[in-house]
Structure 1
Amino acid sequence: MTTTPPTGTDVGGRAMRKAMLRLGPFLGLLYLVAYVDRNNAGFAKLEMSTALGITESAFGLAAGIFFIGYFLFEVPSNLLLHRYGARKWIARIMLTWGVVAVATAFVTGDTGFTVARFLLGVAEAGFFPGVLLYLTFWFPRRHRTTVLAIFAVSNPLANAVSAPVSGWILGLHGLFGLDGWQLVFVLEGVPALVLAVVTWRVLPDRPADARWLNQAERDWIERELAADTAGAERTHGKLRLADAFRNGRLWALIFVFFGVVFGSYGIGLWLPTIVADMGHWSTGVTGLLVAVPNLVAAAVMLPWERYARRRGNIPRQVALTLLVTALALVAAVAARGVPVLSLAAICVGMAALFSTTPLFWSLPSTFLTGVAAAAGLAFINSVGNLAGFAGPYAIGWISETTGTPVWGLLLVSALTLGGAAVALVLSRRSGWAPAAVDDRQPATTP
């Protein structure tokens, strides 16, 4: 009896399934915890502002200053991850952000809250681009949007989980002698400390370190990644570290990402206030309603990624998601007198906005490789994330000036529309429009 040796397709399919199942959900869990700790201030604000005497604009400033610390330390952090490995560095990031997240519960005024948010940004700097870089060590380009979608779906899930859980925690006022808003920071900060230890013990740095891959699967991944690198260098040249910062494509992506971040954090931090303003609900009901747009986004992201990958020309798909976001947010403002319609429009806008993330982050690795990729991914994320400072602050100022944060959605709409225009221009440039991929037919490997 003879057996047929496994083909490249069989080996590659097994390797990708194993890697996606082992790494995608775990990294997504880490991102979920990071996002909860970053955004739970939006719910804590419902009690903290009164308890500490923090105004709307002061809260917006403190919430957004997180991204200043993030900006300053993002690129150095990713270069250190590239040097020392993801296992050690991601575990270090989680440990420090967990400590700062818990300590935020004990601030005594707007100055202390502002300092805590800045330090949280410093502590978390490098996590997101570090994971993006890490995924380039494991997944060939044609498989990358799928694992990015699995990873990024934690973003809306974090908001969906955080909203009702934070609302419930607020109701535990007096537990351990702490106010409800303090319990939000403490109880939601502890998981980062636990997962830091788990990461240190279980996360493999490279395919060569993964005992759950056999040698043929490790070799297949290495060959595919080498082919991707060679293709990128043939098309765009081999970029040195300094070249990455002078590349026009890099700055175009930063502009697009600025609009994405402005919207996601501006809406995310202020959505509890927006929803409460629509109907003056209790904190428990507000938590459940805030979860709805995020659950819709989580349900849509993976099907949207598959659709976009089959259509090809990912920049054009990014332009489409951002256009839908802009139009949906305008509709939310127009329907603000009818809470159900306004919330439905926000659901559509958030689903489109979050679906942009895996598509967008598949683009930098089409021209950035090696240490240039480490620095470039971090630079796009850090500069683009300055919108995370501008978004909450701008919407806070608009809320204080007009009496409602709903009008801030128009500003988000304008920025996402600008990002859509730039993405559409990029879609017409050479080297940006890969052929459509139909994952119903497995790709062959010679």
Structure 2
Amino acid sequence: MDTTSIDHRVEQLHRVATHKAMLRLIPLMCAIYFMSFLDRTNVALAKIQLAADVGISAAAYGFGSGIFFLGYALLEVPSNLAAHRVGPRRWIARIAVTWGILSTAMMFVQGTSSFYVLRVLLGIAEAGLFPALMYMVTLWFAPHDRPVVVGWIYIAPALALMLGSPLGGALMQLDGFGGLHGWQWMFMIEGIPSVIVGIVLFFAMPERPRDARWLSAAERDVLETHAVIDVHGSAEYSSANWIAALKRPTTVLIGLIYFLNQVAFVGLYFFAPAIVHQMHVDSPLVIGFLAASVGLGFLLGVLILPRIHRRVNSDCVFLGVLTAGLVVGACVYLAVTTPAARICLLTVTAFFGGGVLPSYWAIAMKRLQGIQAAAGLAFINTIGLIGGFVGPYLFGMAETSSGRSDAGFTVILVAAVLGLALVPLLARAIRGEDRVESSHEPAAQMKS
């Protein structure tokens, strides 16, 4: 049998194994990420009622919404290194159970102080979840499959924004039932399922291909071989070198661009219900449905854009186009005043602001493997999480100073312009790292 025929059989086996892995793993990953996003963002629907019932102002709400990300960021890298040590399955399950308990405890908020404390604790509990999921992607899937896999995972938060807003709005209608406020029912009913999902995931998700009983031995081997070899031909890295991942210019620049994206996008989805409310919409249920336009744009973005990215040769050109789209969407929103047009532009802005997210991770994962992936991906997410704090805080300040929630679109515009300016620097850093890798390969081949 010739080499071409063998390569074709191996590639066919890898496609079959990858399809099996996607069918088994992506639903579990989506379920856990859906619940995490639902539990971290449902506070947006409670903003108006928290102000009325326990006296939390717009500025305090913005700070409390964002402070979740500070708690998250503080433990992001240590948490993902723990996931590398004990295994992502155990660690993700632990995260889900603890954050589900704390999310339910949000129903006991009594004022600004307890609001801040519980948001910080919720962030600490959830620390490491997303990079642990990304780390699992590097263990299971080849680099060229990762944009699509990450895109599928991002469907979960998109659905959480799209379905969570109407669901939360409906639960808010329980106001007064059983002596509880509507927001208390929402936090309780949406928090408990996270604990259940975490327990199910612990028993249902294998750590890596070699642990999957539903794969044949050949399928396990071909998945691991394709996953651990990156585009530069490097296999695993020593744990002593994980700090090197944090010093790479590409890691830092992707983190900074992601930070600016999160300033814009996180601020948008935390303030979308308030923006809709200022369009003279008073019903929590209707607000929930209209605010779901952000989730719809996010969903369309993660379904469409990763598949386009897969066919584009230049990662940074693609990244630049999407960031420019976010700039244009923010400019048009600020230029129009019609409520219907602005609802549509919420969708457009979320399409670019959320749809670009899988591309960040696909670009990062091309350059990080093993322990460096665990540390580097967590580091990028840490920088982004700080943006998740800054965004709602700036949106809250903009609303306080102007009296309008949609003033936050100026924050989106500035953040997107700065992000666009960093894309050429990322392209230069990638070219520089590729030249260094290319110069090392001949030397390595001579030694061997």
Structure-1-length-normalised TM-score:
0.92
1:188 corresponds in structure 2 to 190
Q: Equivalent residue of 2:214, what SS?
A: coil
1:49 equivalenced with 2:51 (yes/no): yes
Which amino acid is 2:152 matched to? I
Check whether the contact 2:269–2:294 (CA below 8 A) recurs between aligned residues. no
2:270 corresponds in structure 1 to 269
* Cα distance change, pair 278–239 in 1 and its aligned pair in 2 (3 A): farther
1:246 equivalenced with 2:247 (yes/no): yes
Mapping of 1:47-126 within 5 angstroms?
47-126=49-128
Check whether the contact 1:239–1:369 (CA below 8 A) recurs between aligned residues. no
1:383 equivalenced with 2:399 (yes/no): no
Structure 1 CA distance, aligned partners of 2:411 and 2:43?
A: 22
Give deviations 1:14-62, integer Å, cap 9, x for gaps.
1111111111122012111100100111001121111001111111111
1:421 corresponds in structure 2 to 421
Structure 2 CA distance, aligned partners of 1:105 and 1:13?
A: 46
Check whether the contact 1:166–1:184 (CA below 8 A) recurs between aligned residues. yes
Check whether the contact 1:426–1:432 (CA below 8 A) recurs between aligned residues. no
Give deviations 1:326-375, integer Å, cap 9, x for gaps.
2101211211x211111212211101111111111012222222212211
Mapping of 1:224-235 within 5 angstroms?
224-228=226-230, 231-232=233-234
Q: Equivalent residue of 2:229, what SS?
A: helix
Shift of 1:426: 2.2
* Cα distance change, pair 11–65 in 1 and its aligned pair in 2 (3 A): same
Shift of 1:66: 0.6
Q: Equivalent residue of 1:311, what SS?
A: coil
2:284 corresponds in structure 1 to 283
Structure 1 CA distance, aligned partners of 2:304 and 2:61?
A: 36
Which amino acid is 2:94 matched to? R
Deviates more, 1:310-319 or 1:71-80: 310-319
Structure-2-length-normalised TM-score:
0.91
Which amino acid is 1:362 matched to? A
Check whether the contact 2:228–2:369 (CA below 8 A) recurs between aligned residues. no
Structure 2 CA distance, aligned partners of 1:176 and 1:432?
A: 61
Shift of 1:237: 12
Give deviations 1:391-428, integer Å, cap 9, x for gaps.
11111111011010212111112112221221233235
2:412 corresponds in structure 1 to 412
Structure 1 CA distance, aligned partners of 2:257 and 2:30?
A: 23
Q: Equivalent residue of 1:228, what SS?
A: coil
Check whether the contact 1:258–1:387 (CA below 8 A) recurs between aligned residues. yes
Question: What is the number of residues matched between the two proteins?
Answer: 428
Which amino acid is 1:53 matched to? G
1:440 corresponds in structure 2 to none
Structure 1 CA distance, aligned partners of 2:298 and 2:92?
A: 27
* Cα distance change, pair 226–89 in 1 and its aligned pair in 2 (3 A): closer
Structure 1 CA distance, aligned partners of 2:233 and 2:284?
A: 53
Mapping of 1:256-405 within 5 angstroms?
256-335=257-336, 337-405=337-405
Give deviations 1:59-103, integer Å, cap 9, x for gaps.
111111111111111111100000001111101000100010001
Structure 1 CA distance, aligned partners of 2:433 and 2:276?
A: 39
Deviates more, 1:260-269 or 1:112-121: 260-269
Structure 2 CA distance, aligned partners of 1:326 and 1:231?
A: 37
Mapping of 1:178-217 within 5 angstroms?
178-217=180-219
* Cα distance change, pair 187–374 in 1 and its aligned pair in 2 (3 A): same
* Cα distance change, pair 290–77 in 1 and its aligned pair in 2 (3 A): same
Shift of 1:233: 7.1
Check whether the contact 2:155–2:299 (CA below 8 A) recurs between aligned residues. yes
Structure 1 CA distance, aligned partners of 2:241 and 2:365?
A: 14
* Cα distance change, pair 239–419 in 1 and its aligned pair in 2 (3 A): farther
Give deviations 1:97-130, integer Å, cap 9, x for gaps.
0010001101211100000000000000000111
Structure 2 CA distance, aligned partners of 1:239 and 1:16?
A: 31
Check whether the contact 1:238–1:369 (CA below 8 A) recurs between aligned residues. no
* Cα distance change, pair 238–317 in 1 and its aligned pair in 2 (3 A): farther
